[in-house]
Amino acid sequence: MNEPVFIAGTGIISAIGNNVAACLDALQNSRAGMGPMKYLRSAHQQRLPVAEVKLSNEELAALAGLPAVKSRTALLSLVAAKEALSRSGITDVKAWRTGFISANSVGGMDKTENFFNQFLADNRKGRLRDVINHECGSVTELAADALGIKDYISTISTACSSSANSIFLGARLIKNGILDVVVAGGTDSLTRFTLNGFNTLMIVDEQFCQPFDEHRRGLNLGEGAGYVVLVSDKVAATLPDKPGITLSGYCNANDAYHQTASSPEGTGSYLAMSGALKKSGLQPSDIDYINLHGTGTQNNDIAEGTAIKRLFGPHFPKMSSTKTFTGHTLGASGGIEAVFSVMALEHSIVFPNLRLQTPMKDLPFVPVTEVQQNVEMKHVLSNSFGFGGNCSSLIFSKV
């Protein structure tokens, strides 16, 4: 139960790059991924910027090795998960008890929307193959089959904390001796349903988002996938390069305040962060960098900021929201930001909180606004807070 869980590999695809190296280059050079919609067809095409992956379904399918008729969510998942396994040094998933735990919130909805456009116009039309993989679990199973993982497959859908919950479920399965290797994280593609839903809540920014700015207007939606390969100490010892980063802490909490809003006091955020610290055996002063949930909405940023003020004050670690690069990728965000947190530790980099112009007057700290290189870091905290008050925090640590 007390043996460490190592991060053996990472994989990612997002609006700023199609793999780990490309995303790192964009983060180091402050290149954000938002822009006009190219692949998503929407009535808001000219009004709302999004952070799309810069590949068509056909191009994604070529990378993933799946037919382009599969959902974009599944294609993104497989691209990132394959990279994570490739970078882990594990050449045969069948040699170990291996699991695939993947999160998403839209499933194959991108295809379902296309079906109903045709079907509603004429009930003799519409391709049924567009709806066969609609539900969230189907996306996970498609990727797991392609990866050859059969020992344990599970899907988590807890809104924006989904991927973080996938990762720490994987860690718990390893710590309890149930699995040896887990590919964990999440994926989500942009759909009209989610864009329209968030727009109805009036929390989508018509400009590029400005998390933790006094004049923030809302979030930009994004898409992508991010996975880490979690391994036991036994597996880590067999790899060509023994991993140097562990998942040292994790916690999920729920403030049960509102269906779509965090409590103003940040109760769920505070419980998740403090619980992760307790699990890791660390003190607040041990955290060197916080990857903020930082969506850019009025509610999220003050709730998260208030919790950070309560837990870390008066001495605050460096922090930033990388959603200023990728947009809010919903069910994928915890996985993508877990990869960024591992990058920060591996390369001693603090990523910038782009476009922050006026610090929030109610908070006693200001996120980092420029890239910081050669920063001594041993522990990184990553926050993922979802609808319904479902809040999760992960801590990654250098060995």
Q: What residues are labeled active site?
A: 160, 293, 328
Which tokens hold the place of 157? 């859908």
Task: Evaluate whether 219 touches 198 at the Cβ level (below 8 Å).
Answer: yes
- Nearest partner of 21 among 31, 30, 11, 36, judged by Cα: 11
Which tokens hold the place of 79? 């691209």
Rama region for 241: left / alpha / beta (φ>0; ψ in -120 to 50; rest) = beta
Which H or E element spans position 224?
Answer: strand 224-231
- Sign of the torsion formed by the C-alpha atoms of 332, 334, 336 and 337: positive
- Nearest partner of 260 among 391, 390, 387, judged by Cα: 387
Task: Evaluate whether 11 touches 84 at the Cβ level (below 8 Å).
Answer: yes
Which H or E element spans position 290?
Answer: strand 289-291
Which H or E element spans position 336?
Answer: helix 333-347
Q: In what order do the strands lie in the sheet with 152-156?
A: 152-156, 98-103, 181-188, 224-231, 6-13, 245-254, 390-398, 379-385, 289-291, 318-320
Dihedral pair phi/psi, residue 203, rounded to 5°: -125, 20
Relative to beta strand 181-188, strand 152-156 is unpaired
